[in-house]
Structure 1
Amino acid sequence: MTLQRSETRTRRLGAPAAVAAGGAAVAAALYLRDPHRPGAYGICPFHAATGLWCPACGGLRALNDLTHGDVLASLSSNLFVAPLVVALAIAWAGWVSRRWRGVDDRMIVLSRAATVAVLVALAVFTIARNTPWGSALAPT
């Protein structure tokens, strides 16, 4: 028995729908429970062990600020989060479009060069936010 076109499309859109639901659940949790309160979501193990800021430190506070529409506060908590959210939204929309047209692929596929560029940018960001001259990049 062959599937009808709408049933096939529904199956293809299952993964993007699940990703959207997960993202909405995370956004709702961060909207409702403020990570600006110490201990609200635990601690960063890297920061606890080393006293240094990892590239994700401040990320939950940044996402919370975005859910409240405060982009500047988000950028002060973690400079990478707002652009990452925009990039993920664009990637998700493209994924939905491709799945709608019948292309069965993943949401994000980075080339080796793009992967290296992202990792280098995160390393530079991490080093900078842990130095006196880059302390403005540390989470607030």
Structure 2
Amino acid sequence: MGVAVASRTASLRAPALVGAGGVALAAALLLRDPDQPGAWPRCPFLALTGVPCPGCGGLRAVHDLMTGDVVAALSSNAWAVLTAVLCVGTYAAWLASRVGAPRADRWWGGRAGACATAWLSAHATVVAAVWAAGLVVFGVLRLLPPLSVLRP
């Protein structure tokens, strides 16, 4: 095995492991429908307070996305839908940067995956803080009567 092949294999190890984990979680959600009672444990926050946490409905939302029902997914948890889309997009950019994706390079006129990955790496703390703040705001807004349509 040449040095280039060994280097490529090493650079794909982390994306392959993360991808395998994502596939395993997706398979678990497809095999155990969150809409069925008892398929998944109840949210501890909901069980203790009777109030849905910002993540409540997230499993149903992702399951609905994977089965193609976008409206039901948004109804279950719009923030989870946004998070899933962002995670898949970030993963695709990361994978493209490791593979070298010549098609993506032609499409965007440069190393699109590498640029997106570099930007996310440089701003990871800010991105995480904005996402967490958005989650909290979403959780509070969905409790307000005029926005009760956002509740799971």
For the superposition of Structure 1 and Structure 2, which TM-score range results when normalised by the shorter chain? 0.7 to 0.9
CA distances 1:47-92 after superposition (whole Å, capped 9, x unpaired): 1111111111001111111121111100000001222222111111
In structure 1, stretches of 5+ residues that fail to align are none
Name the counterpart of 1:42: 41
1:122: how far off? 1.2
Distance in 1 (alpha carbons) for counterparts of 2:125 and 2:4? 36
For the 8 Å contact 1:53–1:129, the answer to whether it is kept is no
TM-score by length of 2: 0.79
Secondary structure class of the residue paired with 1:79: helix
Name the counterpart of 2:8: 9
Name the Cα RMSD after superposition.
2.2
In structure 2, stretches of 5+ residues that fail to align are 101-113
Q: Percent identity of the aligned residues? A: 43
Residues 33-112 of structure 1 correspond to what in structure 2 (within 5 A)? 33-100=32-99, 109=121, 110-112=123-125
Report the number of matched residues.
135
TM-score by length of 1: 0.85
Runs of 4+ in structure 1 deviating by more than 3 angstroms, as ranges, are 108-116
Task: Letter of the 1:137 partner, please give it.
Answer: L
* 1:22–1:111 CA distance, 2 compared to 1 (3 A): closer
Task: Letter of the 2:149 partner, please give it.
Answer: A
1:116: how far off? 3.2
Higher relative contact order (CA 8 A, sep 6+): 1
